[in-house]
Structure 1
């Protein structure tokens, strides 16, 4: 399996940068760009366009397709031909976007144009001439392609690019471990873990969860000297399923005793992703939702009334950034509401939705919203469910904690830390 190339388009559908294509036809990438722009122009919404588009018009026997994804205000396009799994292309596109974010932070058309040379070098190093992914580890790429900086740009413009490169240091691929540099040294040896979990649930109007899942990820920031070999033991790890790991993790050790054994990369990296599935969460007994809503919505001619109450079920944590949205249906023209505790509400004409925002909800506190809405339709048809989103700092649904961290291969004792954070995206039916 191989990828034909990569194209990045701006918001107007014009190509910003593209890799060298394996196909000899110069019109090959243009046909894919035209096919995508035509599909976007003909679709009622950009989201309605199929992520994989068939491309015709080439005088070849092999079928061709365009795999595309939206990145900010841009589109990244990956043409494929022959017997190639589209997921192969999507996986590479996501990896390349992660590399760009690691190098530039925020990705935009202006950022890519300002760092044109760096983007082209990254394309050359991550995708070889045969269309196969080559070097995708940012730790290795930083030794080959220098991250952009003001000093590098000034020295390059002055005609002395050699001064912008480090004179001493390990050479690329000097380390026998692909994801870790050789000769790393720190004055303070420490490693931090950020646990981010998201609760996705559907709740019936009686308050019973019909479906609830917790998806999580563990991000790490490693500042350890030398080549440390870590053994990380986590609480409740036996309830983590559907796991995916960084290549540094030894899979046999995890399968045997649910512990993480790995030589970490230097700097920031994603250690693992998982789904939290406790044994008590059966089909009839889903994971508990940390909130309760009471919704009374009555439909009248050219409008309706609503009476909402929101209660936190948490006893020690504060919910932050709570947003409750209700789609009021086609023809919705406005709303008039009163919110308790000085909370804010708004009617968004573009999405035809009522939006109720609570900056912070204290433990066990109750907030209310009452009002009316108007519609040009004689019989309004609002959505039969609310969308509730929230954040909870210093909290994770799985209660994941570090039980033990052992280090071998080096003589120092590292400082370790873990910071949990949770969010929720819930559909509450009424």
Structure 2
């Protein structure tokens, strides 16, 4: 596996390192700066893997840092190495808040401690931030004071050596609850005429566990969602109670029939938390797990599929005499009438030298933000099937008569739609069992669809 991990500055010069094996030369990292420079000269896109003299340089970039893993074997598991490097950055963010060259230099002691605990002889070990925080702390005075009392000395928790290393024993709550949120972010690029150029769904299943003891949870998901491809390949049928009110109220915007879902939904990516029993999922497509305490992401997925716009904006730009332009926007909620979009925000770009705006609108609030060169239209609630309009007139000194202004940025739309999923994923059951305590538990499930980072409409 990994022979060493290095933190380098934005030029590729090493500032901190941790070596796990002695199978690579000490000066191997010195070549990274030259290799990086050569790659920048040859191509605009630098590959994350560089091989030189039998040494593999695997790296990621974060702010003004390069995090580099060195390996001497071609048989190294590259996916595992990159997953580990990203996990290192996530855990450092928990400790340092902002991870950059200066914070790494100022906190090199804690970085060394974390690298020692997270990997041993090049093999990842402890990568759970909650476990690490129990015995690795930046407040060194607490460790010194505690070391005088052997009873209170900070020591690695015993659960690190257990089969369930992500959860401590003896957790107790007065009310045992488990909250499960399915959050889907929709990214979409559209033309001004309404043609969808690109669309994808990024889904995340988030869990907040407030359960006593060592509970075992079983999560059942319907076959209309992201597991369709897996269910087809394994010939495993899933019975769905179509009379269940939750399944009736939250149908997919893509399709509502099993056969149509199989032809239109294609799973692109799926990642589980380490607590999920993968063998159980592979054989039976059932998600079973012992959850960590508190908040965590159980799984995430991506669907690259064609969907219709959920919030559509029909944009029109007209040029008037005396250097004035008129921007009209008609927004439509293209979702079912029983669904309602909330916190809708439409960001309309305008030329940098636009001034003296006047507005007319049927709903919501509008404000002009000159520092962003944009008009922001906010609609608190937007019921499905409704249509609202606004018109903005503003001066534009740089424009000539009959000349249409050029917009360098697209229209951006932000929204949230509760109790709705775009992909059609539904939770059939969430069972909680604690064999020793046998307490009464309360599972809660919530669905949210929202805009992704790239839900935009081009202005031609």
- Alignment TM class, shorter chain as reference: 0.7 to 0.9
- 1:193-234 per-position Cα deviation (integer Å, ceiling 9, x unaligned): 232211012324332434432210112122222221111224
- 1:227-276 per-position Cα deviation (integer Å, ceiling 9, x unaligned): 21111224566445343212322345445665422222233322111235
Q: Does 2:307 align with 1:307?
A: no
Unaligned segments of structure 1, at least 5 residues: none
- 1:13-34 per-position Cα deviation (integer Å, ceiling 9, x unaligned): 8766432364664443344356
Cα distance between partner residues in 2 of 1:140 and 1:238:
33
Residue 357 of structure 1: CA displacement? Answer: 2.4
Unaligned segments of structure 2, at least 5 residues: 228-266
- Judged with a 3 Å threshold, the aligned counterparts in structure 2 of structure 1 residues 166 and 323 are, in CA distance, closer, same or farther, namely farther
Cα distance between partner residues in 1 of 2:397 and 2:293:
57
Matched with 1:18 is 17
Q: Does 2:432 align with 1:403?
A: no
Residue 92 of structure 1: CA displacement? Answer: 1.7
Matched with 1:356 is 375
- Judged with a 3 Å threshold, the aligned counterparts in structure 2 of structure 1 residues 312 and 146 are, in CA distance, closer, same or farther, namely farther
Conservation of the 8 A alpha-carbon contact between 2:313 and 2:331: yes
Q: 2:110 aligns with which of 90, 101, 118?
A: 118
Q: 1:52 aligns with which of 48, 51, 57?
A: 48
- Judged with a 3 Å threshold, the aligned counterparts in structure 2 of structure 1 residues 133 and 203 are, in CA distance, closer, same or farther, namely same
Matched with 2:415 is 391
Matched with 1:133 is 124
Q: 1:100 aligns with which of 76, 92, 96?
A: 92
SS at match of 1:345: strand
Q: Does 2:164 align with 1:177?
A: yes
Aligned residues: 396
What does residue range 31-430 of structure 1 map to in structure 2 within 5 Å?
Answer: 31-33=31-33, 50=46, 52=48, 54=50, 61-65=53-57, 67-70=59-62, 73-82=63-72, 83=74, 84=76, 87-105=79-97, 107=99, 112=104, 115-129=107-121, 131-143=122-134, 145-148=135-138, 152-156=139-143, 160=147, 165=152, 171-234=158-221, 238-240=225-227, 241=267, 242-251=269-278, 253-254=280-281, 258-275=285-302, 286-297=306-317, 305=325, 307-313=327-333, 315=337, 316-320=339-343, 322-324=345-347, 326=349, 334-336=353-355, 337-339=357-359, 340=361, 342-346=365-369, 354-363=373-382, 364=386, 365-371=388-394, 382-383=407-408, 386-392=410-416, 394-398=418-422, 400=425, 402-408=427-433, 409-410=435-436, 411-424=438-451, 425-430=454-459
Cα distance between partner residues in 2 of 1:161 and 1:401:
54
Residue 78 of structure 1: CA displacement? Answer: 0.9
Conservation of the 8 A alpha-carbon contact between 2:2 and 2:69: no
- Judged with a 3 Å threshold, the aligned counterparts in structure 2 of structure 1 residues 67 and 244 are, in CA distance, closer, same or farther, namely same
Query: Please, which moves more after superposition, 78-87 or 182-191?
Result: 78-87
Greater relative contact order structure (CA < 8 Å, 6+ sep): 2
Cα distance between partner residues in 2 of 1:338 and 1:325:
14
Residue 39 of structure 1: CA displacement? Answer: 7.5
Q: Once superposed, what is the RMSD of the aligned Cα atoms?
A: 4.2
Which stretches of structure 1, 4 residues or more, deviate above 6 A after TM superposition? 11-14, 37-40, 374-380
